[in-house]
């Protein structure tokens, strides 16, 4: 699911692994009325392949990437919510990375589920009837949610293993040389320097306050 | 630098971190004659922002992502090589991730440098006068090269720290929740199961054999 303001890495991490599955078809669904390019939060313009109206009814996986302002707009959009609710009702896996969980949330897809999200909005997940969990990947039934941005890579690999078995995922890991060596630590609130965490929490304050107003949309 | 057949994650990893630097301008240069979308190896169509002809002459960073067949085509293209040679001659940093090193190589940018690449083509780097090294990120003077695909994230973070200082990079790491937890190990030839490594080496054989024919293009 692409919408204006999505975070490109949230999407491209999973896309890299899922799109490499032999025989897989990836639909890049836009919530815009036509197939104009969808701009990410940093301005990357990606060509979608299908509108919500033309998207196949039955999907193996439905996936929502995150973002900040654009994600709030998508989560407030009734048509996007109705589309997500409909496709999620029949999809084999209902998934998100980062604040994409807000989009699953408003569509009612997290009700009664354990779920995770970007650390900044994990505490808001109860607004959607979810039980929040601070983990890299959380699976509850057919709902699989990932933590912030870079967790999309771990999520994508895990989902390939689930869909096609571990050897296919291992091929993806080796060709992608996924043996991370972060040159700088501090990727979690607990491991970041306190002043960095405070600065970022201040930056995200407005976004988080707005996100607190989101609720499950009426069906 | 975008070219048909680039690997989207090679590009979007660094883009995510470099593009988030306050005040940064990212030019998405296409080696096609006009601004039509550039398709990745998996078919992702990204809108470039500038042609080689219109690209600013002086760049802080020039960056080439990798791929397989498309990367060979770009590395054989004289106009692409001439563009890379010209911009690399004045850029503050000359960089690649994955097999993007082949594009730097044919442009003469790796001569006399230590460099790395995707594991499959590291042994070929001497074709371009480089000293190969199997590391996640290799820096030699102003030439910074990264290993395969996912190394672009580590590379991007390291380059942000170099360009704007460690605190800016730390903010990027925390907002991106970069605390990887690979669900499956085996991201290097040494750690992968031998049968997985053999299968992938067989898959990549044709690509590697073709890449063996690449040489530094005449200036």
CA A205 to chain centroid:
20
Inter-CA distances, A212 with A72, A75, A121, Å: 10, 12, 9
**A107-148 residue pLDDT tens:** 999 999 999 999 999 999 999 999 999 999 999 999 999 999
A98 is catalytic: yes
| Angle, CA of B211, B214 and B219, to the nearest 5° | 155
**CATH number (domain holding residue A26):** 3.40.50.880
B47 to A43: CB separation less than 8 angstroms, yes or no: no
SS3 of B6, please?
strand
Query: Would you say residue A219 has pLDDT above 90?
Result: no
**B37-53 residue pLDDT tens:** 999 999 999 999 999 99
Q: Is residue A65 part of a domain?
A: yes
Q: Is residue B73 part of a domain?
A: yes
Contact B14/B145 with Cβ under 8 angstroms?
Answer: no
Q: Is residue B217 part of a domain?
A: no
Query: Would you say residue B25 has pLDDT above 90?
Result: yes
Considering only alpha carbons, which residue of chain B is nearest residue A136?
B181
Predicted TM-score (pTM) above 0.90: yes
Angle between helices B8-18 and B166-175 (to 10 degrees): 120
Contact A174/B192 with Cβ under 8 angstroms?
Answer: yes
Chain A interface test: which of B17, B50, B184 (most A C-beta within 10 Å): B184
Question: Which residues in chain A are contacts of B136 at CB distance < 8 A?
Answer: 179, 181
Count how many domains chain B has.
Answer: 1
**High-pLDDT (> 70) share of chain B, %:** 100
CA B161 to chain centroid:
18
d(CA A202, CA A195): 11
d(CA B118, CA B134): 9
Q: What tokens appear for A198 in the block?
A: 């405070």
Tell me which residue in B16, B154, B179 faces A8 most closely, judged by beta carbons: B16
| Mean pLDDT calculated for residue range B130-145 | 98
**A154-213 residue pLDDT tens:** 999 999 999 999 999 999 999 999 999 999 999 999 999 999 999 999 999 999 999 999
d(CA A143, CA B102): 41
One-character DSSP codes across B179-207: ----SS---STTTS-HHHHHHHHHHHHHH
Q: Is residue A216 part of a domain?
A: no
A46 to B44: CB separation less than 8 angstroms, yes or no: yes
pLDDT of residue A116: 98
Query: Would you say residue A76 has pLDDT above 90?
Result: yes
Q: Which residues of B106-133 are buried (b: 16+ CB within 10 A; e: fewer)?
A: bbbbbeebbbbbbbbbbebbebbbbebb
pLDDT of residue B219: 85
Q: Is residue B148 part of a domain?
A: yes
B147 to A7: CB separation less than 8 angstroms, yes or no: no
| Angle, CA of B87, B88 and B94, to the nearest 5° | 130
List all residues 6 or more positions away from A194 whose beta carbon is below 8 Å from its beta carbon. none
Asked if B70 reaches chain A (Cβ–Cβ under 8 Å), the answer is: no
pLDDT of residue A18: 97
| Angle, CA of A118, A120 and A67, to the nearest 5° | 55
| Mean pLDDT calculated for residue range B188-209 | 97
| Mean pLDDT calculated for residue range B57-84 | 98
d(CA B192, CA A35): 41
Tell me which residue in A26, A154, A170 faces B196 most closely, judged by beta carbons: A170
B177 to A188: CB separation less than 8 angstroms, yes or no: yes
| Mean pLDDT calculated for residue range A66-71 | 98
Among A59, A74, A75, A98, the active-site one is A98
List all residues 6 or more positions away from B150 whose beta carbon is below 8 Å from its beta carbon. A153, A176, A177, A178, A179, A180, B9, B13, B187
Inter-CA distances, B52 with A117, A162, B15, B35, B139, Å: 40, 42, 19, 10, 26
Q: Is residue A14 part of a domain?
A: yes
pLDDT of residue A74: 98
Q: Residue A148 gets which letter from DSSP?
A: S
Tell me which residue in A8, A26, A184 faces B170 most closely, judged by beta carbons: A184
A148 to B16: CB separation less than 8 angstroms, yes or no: no
The set of catalytic residues of B is 98
**A3-48 residue pLDDT tens:** 999 999 999 999 999 999 989 999 999 999 999 999 999 999 999 9
Structural domain harbouring A183? 8-211
Q: Is residue A196 part of a domain?
A: yes
Asked if B79 reaches chain A (Cβ–Cβ under 8 Å), the answer is: no
Q: Residue B213 gets which letter from DSSP?
A: T
Q: Is residue B170 part of a domain?
A: yes
Considering only alpha carbons, which residue of chain A is nearest residue B24?
A42
């Amino acid at each position: 699911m692409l919408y204006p303001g999505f975070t490109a890495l949230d999407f491209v991490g999973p896309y890299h692994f899922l799109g490499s599955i032999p025989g897989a078809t990836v639909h890049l669904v836009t919530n815009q009325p036509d197939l104009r390019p969808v701009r990410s939060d940093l301005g990357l313009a990606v060509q979608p392949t299908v509108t919500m109206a033309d998207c196949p009814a039955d999907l193996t996986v439905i996936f929502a990437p995150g973002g900040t302002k654009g994600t709030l707009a998508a989560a407030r959009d009734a048509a996007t919510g109705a589309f997500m609710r409909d496709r999620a009702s029949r999809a084999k896996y209902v998934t998100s990375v980062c604040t994409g969980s807000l989009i699953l949330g408003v569509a009612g897809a997290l009700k009664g589920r354990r779920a995770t999200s970007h650390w900044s909005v994990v505490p808001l997940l109860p607004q959607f009837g979810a039980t929040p969990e601070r983990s890299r990947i959380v699976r509850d039934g057919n709902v699989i949610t990932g933590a912030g941005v870079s967790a999309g890579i771990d999520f994508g690999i895990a989902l390939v293993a689930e869909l096609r078995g571990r050897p296919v995922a291992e091929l993806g890991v080796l060709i992608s040389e996924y043996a991370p060596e972060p040159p700088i630590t501090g990727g979690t609130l607990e491991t970041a320097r306190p002043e960095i965490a405070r600065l970022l929490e201040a930056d995200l304050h407005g976004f988080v306050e707005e996100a607190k107003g989101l609720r499950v949309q009426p069906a």
